[in-house]
Amino acid sequence: MFGIKKDFVCELPKKYYTLSDYEKGVARWCPGCGDHAVLSAVQRLCREEQLPPEKTVFVSGIGCSSRFPHYMNTYGFHGLHGRAFPVACGVKFRRPDLNVFVITGDGDCCSIGAGAWIHAIRYNMNITTIMFDNQIYGMTKKQTSPTSRIGTISNTHPTGSVLPPVNPLQTSLGMSNVSFVAQTADWVPGHLFATIKAGYEHPGFAFIKVIMRCSKFMGPLVEEMTTNRDAISILTHENGILPDDGTLRAFRHHHVHDPSDIDAARELAEDKEASYLGLFYQNKEAIRYDLYGAHNLGFTPEEKIAAVNAQLDKYAV
Partner 1 sequence: MKEGNGSLATPSPKISNRLTLKEHILEIVSDSGEGAQKAGQSFGAVSAKMGNGVWTVEIIPADIQPPPRTKESASGIRIRFGTGKITNAGDEADVLVAFNEIVPYTRIEQNVYRKGTIVLIESKWATDDSADIRKSYANAIQDFKDRGFVVYEIPMEEECLKLTPNPKKGKNMWVLGMLSHIYDRDMEKAAAQIEYTFRSKSQAVIDSNLKLLQAGYNWAAEHLDLRYEVPAIEAKQELVVMNGNEALSFGIQAAGIELCSMYPITPATSTSHHLAECIQSSGGIIHQAEDEIAAVGFAIGASYAGKTSVTITSGPGLALKTEFLGLAVMAEVPLVVIDVQRGGPSTGLPTKVEQSDLLAVLYGQPGDAPKVVLAPSTIEECFHFVILARKIAESFRMPVILLSDANLATGVQPFPRPQLREEWLSPPVDQSPWKEGVTPYGWDDKTGLSQRPIPGQAGGEYTLTGLAHSAAAKVTYLPEINQKTSALRSRKLATFGRTLKPPKVNGDNEGELLIVGWGSTRGAIEEAVGRAREQGASVSSLHLHFLSPMEPGLKEIFQRFKKVMTVEINYSDSLDDPMITPENRRYAQLAWLLRAQTLVDIDCYSNVYGQPLRPGDIVDKIQQELNR
Ligand X SMILES: Cc1ncc(C[n+]2csc(CCOP(=O)(O)OP(=O)(O)O)c2C)c(N)n1
Kindly list the residues in this chain that would bind partner 1 in the complex (CB under 8 A).
52-55, 57-59, 69-70, 72-80, 83, 85-95, 97-98, 115-116, 119, 292-293, 295-299, 301, 303-305, 307-312, 314-317
Nearest-5° angle of CA 160, CA 150, CA 129? 120
Q: Judged by CB under 6 A, does residue 204 bind ligand X? A: no
Residue 139 contact, options partner 1, Mg ion, ligand X, none, Cβ 5-8 Å cut-off depending on partner type = ligand X
CB of 113 to Mg ion, least distance (A): 12
CB of 303 to ligand SF4, least distance (A): 50
Nearest-5° angle of CA 105, CA 108, CA 109? 85
Task: Compute the distance between CA of residue 131 and CA of residue 23 in angstroms, rounded to an integer.
Answer: 21
Residue 30 contact, options ligand X, ligand SF4, partner 1, none, Cβ 5-8 Å cut-off depending on partner type = ligand SF4
Closest among 216, 218, 197 to 208, alpha carbons compared = 197
Residue 215 contact, options ligand SF4, partner 1, ligand X, none, Cβ 5-8 Å cut-off depending on partner type = ligand SF4
DSSP per-residue letters across 183-252: EEETT-HHHHHHHHHHHHHSSS-EEEEEE---TTT-HHHHHHHHH-GGGEEEEE-TTS----HHHHHH--
- Quick check: 105 and 65 in contact, CB under 8 A? yes
Residue 140 contact, options partner 1, ligand X, Mg ion, none, Cβ 5-8 Å cut-off depending on partner type = ligand X
**Cβ atoms within 10 A of the Cβ of 161, count?**
19
Name which position in 40, 140, 167, 177 contacts ligand X (CB under 6 A).
Answer: 140
Residue 131 contact, options ligand SF4, partner 1, Mg ion, none, Cβ 5-8 Å cut-off depending on partner type = none
Site string for ligand SF4, 211-250 (x = CB under 6 A): ---xxxx---------------------------------
At a CB cut-off of 8 Å and minimum separation 6, what does 231 contact?
Answer: 225, 273, 274, 275
Amino acid identity, position 128: T
Site string for ligand X, 79-118 (x = CB under 6 A): --x-----------------------xxxx----------
Residue 95 contact, options partner 1, ligand X, Mg ion, none, Cβ 5-8 Å cut-off depending on partner type = partner 1
At a CB cut-off of 8 Å and minimum separation 6, what does 90 contact?
Answer: none
Q: Which is nearer to ligand X, 53 or 79 (CB)?
A: 79
Name which position in 145, 183, 184, 233 contacts ligand X (CB under 6 A).
Answer: 145
- Quick check: 136 and 143 in contact, CB under 8 A? yes
Q: 288-301 burial string, b = 16+ CB within 10 Å, else e?
A: bbbeebbeeeeeee
Number of residues that bind ligand X (CB under 6 A): 17
Q: Which is nearer to ligand SF4, 216 or 257 (CB)?
A: 216
Interacting residues with ligand X (CB under 6 A): 62-65, 81, 105-108, 132, 134, 136-140, 145
Interacting residues with ligand SF4 (CB under 6 A): 29-30, 33, 35, 64, 134, 138, 214-217
